[in-house]
Structure formats: C-alpha cells, structure tokens
Structure 1
C-alpha cells in the first residue's frame, strides 16, 4: 500500500504563471507581466540542466531564479529589483489543492518533491497554507528532477521503499522519471498552467497508477484503497 505521496509543486499544486505575473505587474508596471512570467519560467530548465549535466555544482533554485530574473530583465531592457525573486514564494494554490491535501494527510504522509529549495517550499507552504508533513526534493538530493536521485532521496528520507511512495504531478515526464525509479504515480492535469493556449500535459500519456480530475478526487481514490 502507498504510505506516502510526494508532489511536484510548480504547476501541479500552485498556479505559478498568474501569481508571478501579479508580482511582476506590481514591480514592473510597464512590462507585459504574463510574457515576463513566461520568459522567466522559460529559463528554468536550461538553468537546472547545467547542474544536472555537472557543468555547474548544485545551487538552490532561489539562486537560479534570481539569475534568471536578471537575465530576462536585461534582455528586455528593464531593471528588476532582487526582491521580485520572492514572487516564487507567493504562488496561489489551485482551488482543490488545500482541501485535497488535508484529506490525504489524514491517512498518508504528504510532502513536496520539488526542484524548489527547502527555504522556498517552506515559505510557499506558509503563504498557501499547504499542510505538508515535511519538505523534500532537490535540496535533499543536491540535484534536480528528473534525475532519479531526487525521487530516491525522498523515499530514503521517509525510510520507505519506492514502491510505497507515490509521485503526484501534472507533468508526464516527471511521472515517467519517478516510475523509472520505482515509485507509484498519480496524474492530475492542470490544463491552464501555461495559459489558455497550453498544448502539453493535457492528458495522461501512460498508464499511471491513478489519474484523477483534481486533488479531492485523488484523495478519495487513495483513501479508498
């Protein structure tokens, strides 16, 4: 039986795009806030890939976010304050998330398995009232998803075999990597994560252990097993 569920956070648990755009609009009122948020997020994977490829030693995502903030600002010719980096700590949960997590917490261990740092995830949990039992993810593994070490480090920290841990994500590639590492998998689509024109991850692309419409439905299925 699944004893713990670990969660992707950006996109799966929280609406990063609208939330970051809100903070950008407040600090940089003359720029297209949504376009800026998209461009900032667009630097996310390339920055982590340099670490995954061992071209750079591990640094927390907070550092990468700040570097990426200034890279995007320089590209469009504006000056962004360092304080804007805290936008990633103020991301609104999707409407079903807190309720679903509370139901899951009654019977299972729940924790983020995010590329976000422990500091970022802790502040985000405070902001969004996400009721985690603990914080897991990149800082524990000193590497970034989808490297298998990240998923396995979370299982090890919980003293559970991978087969008793379920990775929950709105991203098929995240779940594929988790399954390859031996974890169970749960898919919850977030079809507007990247806005109304999103084209990827609109549906499950494999036979995941659970496919649920939202976190409340996920909790009902997990708790019913």
Structure 2
C-alpha cells in the first residue's frame, strides 16, 4: 500500500454515531413538550428519508441544495407523520442535531495517528457548515473539507470522489477512501481509489448485512487505530 498520500472519510456512521446522537437530540427537544416516542425509531425514520431526498438531486429533478436543507425537509415530514407541530425556533434547533453528533470512541485517537503521515479530509454528503460543526465538536483537525458541497453533487456520483482527489492535487491511486458502507467503497473503488472498510456494526443498533462489501477492499478494519497500524506496517 505504498503510495497512499491522503485519506478521505465518509462521516455519517463511519466517524459519528448519528443514531444515538439524533435520538438524544430529539428527546431533548420533544420530551419537555409532552411527547413520548421511540427516540431511536424517530432517528431511523429521519435517516431513512436521506437517500430518497438526495436522489432527486442526483437524477436531475432538482438542483443541488445543501444537506442541511434536505434534512429540514425530511424533519418536517417526520414531524408531520407523527402529528407533531413545532415552532420555527425549535425546528431550526432540532434540524441542527446533525451538527451535534458524537464520534465513535476510536475516532479521535485514530485520526490523530493517521494525520502524522497522511492528508485527511471528509468526503461526505454533509455540507461544509455541518462538517465544520462536527469537527469542532469532536476535536478533529482536517487538512481540507471536501465532498458533496464543493462538488455540487451527492455520493455515490463519481464527481464527488474525483473532485476531492483533484482538490488535493493527487491521483485516485494515491487516495484511500474510508467508509462503513459498501456502496460508498464500490463507487470510489470503481474510479481507482484505494478502499478501506471500517466496520460499524452498531450504526443501526444491530449489524446491517447490506453494509458488508462483497468485493475486495484494500483494508478491512474495526477501528481507525487498527487502520493506522496497518498503514504503518505497509498494509
């Protein structure tokens, strides 16, 4: 694996525990108003609308809009489906739950170890403001913030990965895409990027077979420190 100079990271699920964090944020806003819900199911419902919302952009039905806006549309739909009405200030605050996600326990140590030898950047469908908020919350230090908003497209469209690689002045073969989702890695690998599968069995509260790659990847690890160790050892 010599020749790798930069690592690109999927963020939701790969670096952050969105499910637990969104459930916590929803409870903090809605429980004081008298709502008693399955908070994890609320988070799952909100997340389930993520891919369909982006697909309208991918297939050209609407122009690119930032994920914060798509999250807000989806939140309005989730609330309406439960008969919940919120004032605008509370809706705005709850929508920014995605800016307040907590990292998985291994991420801080792992990123610090990787940063000693490689350029690091998110390659996420999250917009720049969202990525900045997560970095500041969790103490991450990126060399750049790349992904959907700079490319004006959503993964797994090739432009997102290729724009990120080009922005760092590298070739795909010099770039390692790290993700917990097979589709993300399949798209990156098809473009010549190296691939690292980072297993996150607890992302949805239980293992999701669809996230397991059924194709060869360059690395298969269960933590970022383990990835750093393998890279130091040359793969």
1:20 corresponds to which residue? 22
Which of these residues, 205, 213, 220, is aligned with residue 222 of structure 2? 213
1:221: Cα distance to partner? 1.0
Q: Per-residue displacement from partner, 1:140-194 (whole Å, max 9, x unpaired)?
A: 1100000000000000100101110010000011000000111110011101101
Contact residue 182 and residue 210 of structure 2 kept, 8 A = no
For the residues of structure 1 that align with 2:175 and 2:192, how far apart are their CA atoms? 9
Greater than 4 Å deviation, 4+ residue runs? none
For the residues of structure 1 that align with 2:46 and 2:21, how far apart are their CA atoms? 13
Contact residue 200 and residue 222 of structure 2 kept, 8 A = no
1:140 corresponds to which residue? 150
Contact residue 125 and residue 131 of structure 1 kept, 8 A = yes
For the residues of structure 2 that align with 1:65 and 1:174, how far apart are their CA atoms? 20
Q: Per-residue displacement from partner, 1:107-130 (whole Å, max 9, x unpaired)?
A: 000110000001100011101112
Contact residue 122 and residue 146 of structure 2 kept, 8 A = yes
For the residues of structure 1 that align with 2:82 and 2:207, how far apart are their CA atoms? 23
1:11 corresponds to which residue? 13
Contact residue 104 and residue 223 of structure 1 kept, 8 A = no
TM-score by length of 2: 0.93
Which of these residues, 189, 195, 198, is aligned with residue 185 of structure 1? 195
Show the 5 A alignment for 1:148-159: 148-159=158-169
1:219: Cα distance to partner? 0.7
1:109 and 2:99 aligned: no
Runs (5+) with no aligned partner, structure 2: none
1:60 corresponds to which residue? 66
1:129 and 2:143 aligned: no
* Aligned residue pair count: 224
Determine helix, strand or coil for the equivalent of 2:176.
Answer: strand
Aligned CA-pair RMSD:
1.1
Q: Per-residue displacement from partner, 1:35-94 (whole Å, max 9, x unpaired)?
A: 110000011000000000000000000000011000110111002422101100111111
Determine helix, strand or coil for the equivalent of 1:110.
Answer: strand
